[in-house]
Structure 1
């Protein structure tokens, strides 16, 4: 856990109303709050999907639980206007400088071998929101792309046990607005390698992604147990979804 020590500014006008803070480790974090309007599961989704993506060696900013003290809120009217409560929120490390993920910017990235993994991941966790704001590209001699914003994964910010169980044995192909820009860098071998990596995750390993979720975030242990079951089951069904998408990608030599 990190503690916010300085409020800097609002990030954008998105629904989550994310704000930028400096924390006690000296890094900057883009923080989303418990009361943001994108669903009561928003923060659990962010933390869990960050952990899962990191297990799969995918490019995501470091994610942490961020404690915001009352003192910081008292000093800054914008936080009061947002009705931010002191306590535990979610933050991802601020990556900068960055540029829009245009086709040209993506082509310059040095980590395009991760593109197949991104598509497999998005299908696995039911991420229907991989849009132009949810991929960023760094600026510099060796640009990299990063996957950000995972509130809408797992079926969105309002998932329930019933919804998870209904969707654990079938993976509907996910094809979002950003995926076509990565088509030149995805082929059968890359997809198969990404699927193999996903399927190598044991249920015990997946369970590590759901530990220590703050009670304030409103997820019960029963719900987390079902979420682990859901993710473990879906990893075997992703291949069928990817097979439906494979005609879109270049064939391996």
Structure 2
């Protein structure tokens, strides 16, 4: 554990760059888990990392499911060895800063399908509608909502 009361991990392998304005990355960490990493000083600003940590704490406090998160310590050598993680900006590629960053445990497994956008015809398939609506209300109340805030997992038949 670290000062934040969260797990602390280090990167082992860069997997992929994620979609979205913060240009987060998918990284395998020292605990064998995969994490979506939001960098401090990302293109959306430094507050994104704090917002993610506070949002996670809020969800847990009001009883909503949220992935576990960890503080990930990413060294200069790992960043230099993986230029695919660098931010793509209008002025070219920008190297992320080494240090502690927010890492949210990846949802689902390698074989599960994860949807970031759910077709409107599938809304009736959502099994935990009350949880989904509770999360939506919490996001709107905390001004933490944008056009893509939810992930949906397809359950095995």
Q: Which residue of 2 aligns with 1:188?
A: none
CA distance change for structure 1 residues 39 and 74 in 2, over 3 Å: closer, same or farther? closer
Deviation, structure 1 residue 19: 0.8
Question: Paired residue for 1:10, among 17, 20, 26?
Answer: 17
Question: Paired residue for 1:122, among 134, 139, 147?
Answer: 139
Question: Paired residue for 1:111, among 128, 132, 137?
Answer: 128
TM-score (norm 2): 0.77
Runs of 4+ more than 4 Å apart: none
Helix, strand or coil for the counterpart of 1:60? coil
1:45 equivalenced with 2:51 (yes/no): yes
More helix by share: 1
Q: Which residue of 2 aligns with 1:26?
A: 32
Deviation, structure 1 residue 89: 0.7
In 1: Cα distance, 2:118 partner to 2:65 partner? 14
Q: What are the within-5 Å matches in structure 2 for residues 1-253 of structure 1?
A: 1-12=8-19, 14-80=20-86, 81-96=93-108, 97-99=113-115, 100-129=117-146, 131=147, 133-141=148-156
Helix, strand or coil for the counterpart of 2:14? strand
More strand by share: 2
Which structure would you say has the larger Rg? 1
- Structure 2: gaps spanning 5 or more residues: 1-7, 87-92
In 2: Cα distance, 1:23 partner to 1:49 partner? 22
- Number of residues of Structure 1 aligned to a counterpart in Structure 2: 139
TM-score (norm 1): 0.50
